[in-house]
Structures are given as structure tokens and as C-alpha cells.
A = this chain, B = another copy of it.
């Protein structure tokens, strides 16, 4: 691989950028997917999370009325409203029966006069798009002027999309770094055979960083799952090498991965978001849209779909295990000791640091740092 991108001083390892990146919170002033539409039935509630914020989503029985989102704690006894009842465009707490409308205002306490109603709960802006329920957890005044994310090619009928996701036990920044550094192809050597990534270059803007790669197969055969994505089987190394370009971009706070052939024919579009699930942001829920460009011959992609699912699940499993070990190392070491030498990842880290919350996420439980590595 060409490594002329590294100037001498860039090669000096650096552990971090002053602040610990793993304590930088995901900035709340964006639209985050908090659930799949199919998870929230008519007339029901769903408990979801954004970082330290428990949120209840509610879908009125009347399909004409939109989903709404409230803080998932009754203002009275702080128990989850998600265990209450949906009544029209309101939720009634299941404990003492306090009710809140979609703006969070308390509209009824069964044993209290209407003129004396207590304070309500916080409401969150919500939008539903392409099977995702997106919530704006930050300053509600900014929601109207903040655009919803473009969701890859999910709306394009030339693509077939797999919706996937899971809870991953790590800070969301590990997810961005994992995907953008394609040298981690080595991790997937059993699934993909030996592939040598070739870094083609990087680019960046105010709120994004991207890396471009091509790949050469150095050993092993192309797996069937990969063939399903590319729409054809390429048997030999020579045919494969440098034919396709993969572009991975973090456009804060989302991430995309696109594959195009050398002549710019679309192959695959991935859109993905990582949503912190706990106060310390040490877990995230992944929402991914994997859109495969349909080949000219109809039916091939549908036939290969189960293989594609199996293949991607295996890849995701390896990625989940390794990023959870990165988090475990951070927990044990008490801070970020990564020695990142790859310039595009250093740029990505700087972007995540800059775009995240200005204040560190608080630690729920103090962990003793091991001082061993510092003094070396």
C-alpha cells in the first residue's frame, strides 16, 4: 500500500488531542434515529434512549396523527411514562394517572383541580422518514432549521435496502473510526479472504471527513455474500484489483459508505447512525440502511439476499467484538491511549472532538486509571 501520505512528523504517534475523545458526547442538536417505525404500534408507547435521556415515543391510534416524543418520566413520581396508556394524543401515567399531551403539558391529575395542574414534562421534536423515527434531543428551537439526514439510497427504487442494527457496548466514536480505517480489513480475513486496501486519498469539509480506497485480493476467493453485493462473481485477483472505489464519509453525526465501480456505476450505499444509549455514552444503538443497487437481471439480488444477510451479520459481529474490546481497554486504562498513525483517522478524531459536546460526559462510577503506560 502506498504510504507516501505520511510526512515524518505525522508519523509520530499521538495519544489524543488534549480532551479524551471517549468522554465527548454526541452533540444533541441533530436528528437521531431512536427507533424503527415498525417497533411502535398504533396506540402504544415505546421506551427509547438518547444518552442520559430516557424518551417515550407514542403513536396515536388515529393514523392521521403523528408520533410524539416525551421525556420518559412522569413529573410526579419519575416512573416511566412508557408503561402508561396512550389516550388520543396524550399519555396517561400508569401509576397515579397523571396525563400529558404531545407538548408535554400536564392536562389531568384525576384527584386535582384543573386550575392547579403541576408542571409537565419535556417534549421532543419528532419526524418519521423511511421507516425511521427521528428525534431531535437538543435545543428544540434549532429543530426546524436542522435538516433531516439524507438516508443514502433507501428511497431510490434502483436499490434494495436492508435495515439492520444492534446495541454495541462502546462509545460511538469507536464506530466511526472502525469503519473509516479500512486497514481493519485484516480483522475480516476469515470472512473476506485476504484483501489489501489501497488508500486513494482523503477530503474534508466543515462538518465532514472522507476516505477513498480501492482493494486488491491477495489471497482467497471472493465470498458469496460479497458477490451478492457486487451483483457478479469475480473469480480472480487480477479482475478484481482496483476496479471499485469505496468512499467512507463521516458527515457529522452520520456515516456513509459508498461503493462505485471505476466507471462510476453504483454498487452499494450504506447509511449509518450511532445513538448513545446510556449516561456515560459507553453503549450505542446502531441504525443502518444497507442499499444494494439492483443488477440488470431481475431476481438475482432477491435470491442472493439470505447470503448477503449472513455475510453482513458475520462482519458486524467481528466489528462489534473488536470495538467492545477497545471500550474495555479504555475502561481499564481510564483514558484514550490509542496511538493513531493514519492521518485520515486523526482528522476524523479531530472532527468528532470538535463537533461533539463541549462538556465531557460525566462518569457514573469512578474507575482507577492504570498508570503503567503513562510512565513508559
Tell which of B11, B76, B326, B363 touches A340, judged by Cβ atoms closer than 8 Å.
B76
Q: How distant is A372 from chain B, measured CB to nearest CB, in Å?
A: 7
Find chain B residues with CB under 8 A from A54 CB.
332
Alpha-carbon separation in the docked complex, A76 to B94 (Å): 50
Q: In the complex, what's the smallest C-beta–C-beta distance from A271 to chain B, in angstroms?
A: 25
Residues 111-137 of chain A: 1 if any B CB is under 8 Å from the residue's CB, otherwise 0? 111001011001000000000000000
Residues of B close to A325: CB separation below 8 A = 79-80, 83
How many Å lie between the Cα of A104 and that of B164 in the bound state?
40
A97 CA / B342 CA spacing, docked (Å): 13
Question: Which residue, of A13, A95, A197, A362, has the highest number of chain B Cβ atoms within 10 A?
Answer: A95
Mark contacts of A181-199 with chain B using CB atoms, 8 A cut-off: 1 yes-contact digit, 0 otherwise. 1011011000000001101
Asked if A73 is at the interface of the complex by the 8 Å CB criterion, the answer is yes
Residues of B within 8 A of A79 (CB): 322, 325-326, 329
Task: Determine whether A96 belongs to the interface, using a CB cutoff of 8 Å to chain B.
Answer: yes
Contacts of A337 in B (CB 8 A): 78
CB nearest neighbor in B for A118: B13
Residues in B with CB closer than 8 Å to A118 are: 11, 13, 339, 341
- In angstroms, Cα B119 to Cα A366, docked, is 29
CB distance from A105 to the nearest CB of B (A): 13
Contact B186 A94 (CB under 8 A): yes
- Which of these binds chain B: A1-9, A58-66, A248-256? A1-9
Closest to A196 in B: B110
A41 to B307, CA, bound (A): 35
Contacts of A322 in B (CB 8 A): 79, 94-95
Copies of this chain: 3
Asked whether B368 lies within 8 Å of A76 as measured between CB atoms, the reply is: no
Q: Output the least CB separation between A185 and chain B (Å).
A: 9
Shortest A332–chain B CB gap in Å is 7
Does A3 lie within 8 Å of B112, measured CB to CB? Answer: yes
Most chain B CB inside 10 Å of its own CB: which residue of A118, A122, A199: A118
B372 touches A363 (CB 8 A): no
A109 adjacent to chain B (CB < 8 Å): yes
Q: Which residues of B contact A184 (CB under 8 A)?
A: 95-96
CA distance A279 to B331 in the complex (A): 12
New A-B contacts (14) at CB < 8 Å, excluding given A76-B341, A279-B332 = A1-B111, A3-B116, A6-B116, A11-B113, A52-B372, A54-B332, A75-B339, A78-B330, A96-B186, A96-B187, A97-B186, A279-B368, A362-B369, A365-B367
Show 15 residue pairs from A and B whose CB-CB distance is below 8 angstroms, ordered by the A residue: A3-B116, A6-B113, A52-B370, A52-B372, A76-B338, A78-B337, A79-B322, A79-B329, A94-B322, A96-B181, A111-B199, A112-B341, A122-B376, A279-B368, A365-B366
User: Which A residues contact B (CB, under 8 angstroms)?
Assistant: 1, 3, 6, 8, 11, 13, 52-54, 73, 75-80, 83, 94-97, 109-113, 116, 118-119, 122, 181, 183-184, 186-187, 196-197, 199, 279-280, 322, 325-326, 329-330, 332-333, 337-342, 362-370, 372, 376
